[in-house]
């Protein structure tokens, strides 16, 4: 696995891979943030939904950091 993260512009979600394998389930740890789990309940990845809201709170557009280096779909 070359890329460790992926940003999907359509769904505005960021996925961070922590390890390879087959996902068996997920758990929402806080609203909008899920962890994906393998069969032994080890964390395989983290999914952040509506990620741009994390960067936009109370900031002008010029102050919002760009998500550089993230593959855009």
Q: Is the pLDDT of residue 67 over 80?
A: no
CA distance 67 to 63: 13
Q: Please, what is the Cα angle at 13 between 70 and 43, to 5 degrees?
A: 90
CA distance 27 to 29: 6
Which single residue is written with the structure tokens 């758990």?
A: 27
Give 18-45 pLDDT, tens digit per residue: 999 999 999 999 999 999 999 999 999 9
Give the predicted TM-score (pTM) of the model: 0.69
Inter-residue contact 23 to 44 (CB < 8 Å): yes
Inter-residue contact 4 to 67 (CB < 8 Å): no
pLDDT score recorded for residue 28: 95
């Amino acid at each position: 696995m070359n890329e460790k993260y992926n940003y999907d512009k359509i769904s505005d979600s960021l996925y961070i891979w922590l390890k390879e394998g087959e996902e068996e389930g997920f758990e929402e740890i806080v609203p909008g943030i899920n962890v994906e789990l393998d069969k032994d309940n080890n964390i395989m990845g983290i999914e952040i939904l509506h990620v741009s809201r994390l960067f936009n709170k109370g900031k002008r557009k010029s102050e919002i950091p760009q998500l550089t280096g993230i593959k855009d779909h």
